[in-house]
């Protein structure tokens, strides 16, 4: 994509990135990426994957890991997958090995696990990878056995959980609030 006039750039970008090529936006964001990483496993609906990728871009996560699935309909990401690294893992073992090698804390957001504690009580560290699974079947036993912590988002109405795309946005914001905004 050639550079364009920022006044006619219709992409959903902050003003400072208008007129830049996709590669220039990627590079500019890379200079200030956060330590947050996001992993998606077993998410069955493409729109949810796209929503999580879009939120990861909004919080300037360094990597989105997609474990197991190779493709998804990128429409829900609204082209934001062009501005961050999306890494595919064919199996859980390779993903976990990468995370351990890089000393990442794996935090599952999962409300179907007896170990789950309240997200509001979590004290995050910079090198966190948030892990999300399908709304129906959740995360695999293999990933749940490997994570360092399991957290849930409290529900106050009749529904026992929020949509996984919404949950991802809430968890990413909480990490950002603690690690980038100093707990404000």
Domains in the chain, ordered, with CATH?
Answer: 34-179 (3.40.1280.10)
pTM equals 0.90
With tokens 């609030």, the residue in question is 177
Can you give the pLDDT of all 184 residues of the chain as single tens digits?
555 666 778 888 888 998 998 899 889 988 999 999 999 997 666 678 888 988 999 999 999 999 986 555 555 555 677 778 899 999 999 999 999 999 999 999 998 888 999 999 999 999 999 999 987 788 999 999 999 999 999 988 888 788 899 999 999 999 999 999 987 6
Helix or strand holding residue 54 (H, E): helix 46-58
**What is the distance between the alpha carbons of residues 35 and 56, in angstroms, rounded to a whole number?**
12
Catalogue the long-range contacts made by 157-161 (C-beta closer than 8 Å, 24 or more residues apart): 160/111, 161/111, 161/135
């Amino acid at each position: 994509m050639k550079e364009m006039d920022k006044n006619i750039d219709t992409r959903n970008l902050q003003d400072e990135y208008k007129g830049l090529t996709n590669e220039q936006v990627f590079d500019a964001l890379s200079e200030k990426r956060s330590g947050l990483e996001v992993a998606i496993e077993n998410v069955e609906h493409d729109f949810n994957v796209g929503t999580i990728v879009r939120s990861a871009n909004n919080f300037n996560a360094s990597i989105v890991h997609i474990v197991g699935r190779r493709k998804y309909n990128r429409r829900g990401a609204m082209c934001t997958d062009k501005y961050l690294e999306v890494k595919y893992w064919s199996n859980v073992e390779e993903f976990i090995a990468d995370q351990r090698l890089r000393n990442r804390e794996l935090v599952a957001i999962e409300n179907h696990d007896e170990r789950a504690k309240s997200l509001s009580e979590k004290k995050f560290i910079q090198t966190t990878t948030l892990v999300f699974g399908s709304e129906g079947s959740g995360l695999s036993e293999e990933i749940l056995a490997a994570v360092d912590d399991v957290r849930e988002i409290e529900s106050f109405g009749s529904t026992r959980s929020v949509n996984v795309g919404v949950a991802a946005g809430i968890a990413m914001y909480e990490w950002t609030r603690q690690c980038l905004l100093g707990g404000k």
